[in-house]
């Protein structure tokens, strides 16, 4: 399993179907899963891997909740988890980021997700899979996690880059989904779908193209990069893009703008 890449292609995944070393988790909409899914994939509702403290959304569940959800899905310490969804990878990436924080090391994202799998003729099933319960124990790894306090301490640091992957209208405060609109001071904007290859079933764009796209806005490997969106759903996908590219210092902001934008004392720009 050590040789399984973070970004796995459908052809490679097809060869693992039926292996007890792999657990395939589908985070598509329930109705999509009921129509077609990767054979053997268990379904996991995205709502079960995020928590809320309204108006702040997209927080990490507590340990007991997370352990219960992951154990029921069949996760355990030694299994390699491959996640995918039907939307380009945001929900699947959020699961993998959460698993990384929980200390799980064997993780992959299906490149292109269900779009690539189904559109390229790989076998599909519509029979629900009942997971075999396991025992998952959270072992905290806080390296991938950024908090508002962590960001505040680094607002004036040129060593840290803030990457806002919401739409330009959200970034510039034209669209408002929190008490306040705008963006974290110093953050640069790259809408999350910009990293997807629309001609290749929503796969990641080629590495060279991704590096050029990021470098053009100052997101370079020597800097610590913190990704955020509205709830760290879209930005979890961007976190995985950076991880795939080998960026050594990356974090995701749980809660994201739903946290920052609802704190009246925090600075912002529009």
- Note the pLDDT of residue 4: 94
Q: What is the pLDDT of residue 98?
A: 98
Question: How large a percentage of the chain has pLDDT more than 70?
Answer: 99
- DSSP secondary-structure letter at 200? G
User: Is the confidence at residue 193, as pLDDT, over 70?
Assistant: yes
In this model, does residue 2 exceed pLDDT 80?
Answer: no
Share of the chain above pLDDT 90, in %: 99
The pLDDT, as a whole number, for residue 197 is: 98
Mean pLDDT of 2-24: 94
Looking at residues 87-94, what average pLDDT do you find? Answer: 97
Confidence at residue 3, expressed as pLDDT on a 0 to 100 scale: 84
Q: How far apart are the first and last CA of the chain?
A: 46
- Say if CB 139 and CB 103 are below 8 A apart: yes
pLDDT at position 243 over 70: yes
Pairing of strands 51-53, 56-59: antiparallel
pLDDT of residue 181 exceeding 60, the answer is yes
Does 229 participate in catalysis according to the annotation?
Answer: yes
Which whole-number Å values give the CA distances from 112 to 106, 135, 214, in the listed order? 19, 30, 20
pLDDT computed for residue 245 by the predictor: 98
Across the chain, mean pLDDT equals 97
Q: How would you label 208-236 residue by residue, b for 16+ Cβ within 10 Å and e otherwise?
A: eebbeebeeeebeeebbbbbbbbbbbbbb
Secondary structure class of 259 (helix, strand, coil): helix
CA distances from 30 to 13, 44, 71, 231 (A): 22, 9, 20, 21
Residue-wise pLDDT tens digits, 154-173 = 999 999 999 999 999 999 99
Q: Which domains does the chain have, with CATH numbers?
A: 7-119 (3.40.250.10), 145-260 (3.40.250.10)
Query: Could you report the per-residue pLDDT of 102-142, keeping only the tens digit for each?
Result: 999 999 999 999 999 999 999 999 999 999 999 999 999 99
Which residue, 195, 246, 244, is CA-closest to 216? 195
Residue from 202, 229, 240, 241 carrying the catalytic annotation: 229
């Amino acid at each position: 399993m050590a040789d399984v890449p973070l970004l796995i292609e459908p052809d490679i995944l097809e060869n693992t179907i039926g292996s007890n070393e792999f657990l395939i988790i589908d985070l598509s909409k329930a109705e999509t899963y009921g129509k077609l899914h990767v054979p053997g994939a268990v379904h996991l509702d995205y709502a079960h891997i995020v928590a809320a403290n309204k108006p702040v959304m997209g927080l990490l569940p507590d340990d007991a909740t997370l352990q219960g959800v992951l154990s029921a899905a069949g996760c355990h310490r030694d299994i390699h988890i491959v996640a995918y969804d039907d939307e380009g990878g945001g929900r699947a990436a959020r699961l993998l980021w959460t698993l990384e924080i929980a200390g799980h090391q064997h993780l992959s994202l299906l490149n292109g997700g269900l779009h690539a799998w189904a559109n390229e003729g790989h076998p599909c099933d519509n029979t629900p899979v009942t997971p075999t319960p396991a025992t998952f124990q959270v072992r905290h790894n806080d390296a991938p996690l950024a908090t508002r306090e962590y960001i505040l301490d680094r607002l004036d640091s040129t060593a840290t880059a803030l990457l806002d992957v919401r739409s330009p209208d959200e970034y510039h405060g034209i669209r408002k989904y929190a008490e306040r609109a705008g963006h974290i001071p110093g953050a640069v904007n790259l809408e999350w779908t910009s990293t997807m290859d629309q001609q290749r079933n929503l796969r990641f764009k080629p590495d060279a193209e991704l590096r050029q796209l990021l470098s053009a806005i100052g997101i370079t490997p020597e800097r610590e990069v913190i990704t955020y969106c509205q709830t760290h759903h879209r930005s979890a996908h961007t976190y995985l893009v950076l991880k795939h590219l080998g960026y050594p210092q990356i974090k995701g902001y749980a809660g994201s703008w739903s946290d920052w934008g609802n704190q009246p004392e925090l600075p912002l720009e529009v």
